[in-house]
Amino acid sequence: MFDLLRCLPEGEQRILIDGMLRSLREEADAWDTAQRFGIAMLLAKDGDAEARRAMYAAYREASWQVDDCFVELDGIAGFLFVAERAGELPDTDDVHRSAFDFFERSCERCGEAALRDAFEEAALNKPAIAAFRRAVVGWDPPKYERPPRPTDQELLEKVPELLALLDDADERVRNTALVRLERVRDPRVRALAFEARYRERAAHLLVENYEPGDEALLANWIREATDPEDRHGLQLGALSFFKAHPHREVEIPVWELLYEVGDCGFCRGSVVRRLIEIDALRDDLRAECAWDAVPEVRESVT
Do 54 and 39 have their domain in common? yes
Do 238 and 279 have their domain in common? yes
In a domain, 267, yes or no: yes
Q: Give the whole-angstrom CA distance, residue 135 versus residue 272.
A: 35
CB 123 within 8 A of CB 133: yes
In a domain, 271, yes or no: yes
Burial of 159 (0-12, 13-18, 19+ CB in 10 A): middle
Mean pLDDT for all residues in the chain: 87
**pLDDT for res 96:** 60
Q: Give the whole-angstrom CA distance, residue 298 versus residue 292.
A: 6
Do 68 and 130 have their domain in common? yes
Do 174 and 104 have their domain in common? no
**pLDDT for res 32:** 83
Do 37 and 140 have their domain in common? yes
Q: Give the whole-angstrom CA distance, residue 21 versus residue 219.
A: 42
Give every CB contact of residue 236 below 8 A, 6+ residues apart in sequence.
203, 204, 267, 270
Name the domain count of the chain: 3
pLDDT tens track for 197-244: 999 999 999 999 999 999 999 999 999 998 888 888 899 899 999 999
**pLDDT for res 251:** 95
Do 18 and 60 have their domain in common? yes
Average pLDDT over residues 178-195: 93
Nearest to 230 by CA among 259, 201, 271, 269: 201
In a domain, 189, yes or no: no
Lowest mean pLDDT among 15-24, 51-60, 170-179, 276-285: 170-179
Do 219 and 172 have their domain in common? no
Q: Give the whole-angstrom CA distance, residue 80 versus residue 113.
A: 15
Do 157 and 231 have their domain in common? no
Average pLDDT over residues 295-302: 87
User: For the whole prediction, is pTM greater than 0.85?
Assistant: no
In a domain, 269, yes or no: yes
In a domain, 102, yes or no: yes
In a domain, 59, yes or no: yes
Q: Give the structural domain span for 246.
A: 200-300
**CA angle, residues 124, 130, 134, in degrees to nearest 5:** 130
Do 156 and 178 have their domain in common? yes
Do 136 and 45 have their domain in common? yes
Residues shown for the chain: 302
pLDDT tens track for 102-146: 888 899 899 999 999 999 999 999 999 998 888 887 655 555 555
Do 288 and 250 have their domain in common? yes
In a domain, 194, yes or no: no
Q: Give the whole-angstrom CA distance, residue 138 versus residue 158.
A: 23
Do 29 and 120 have their domain in common? yes
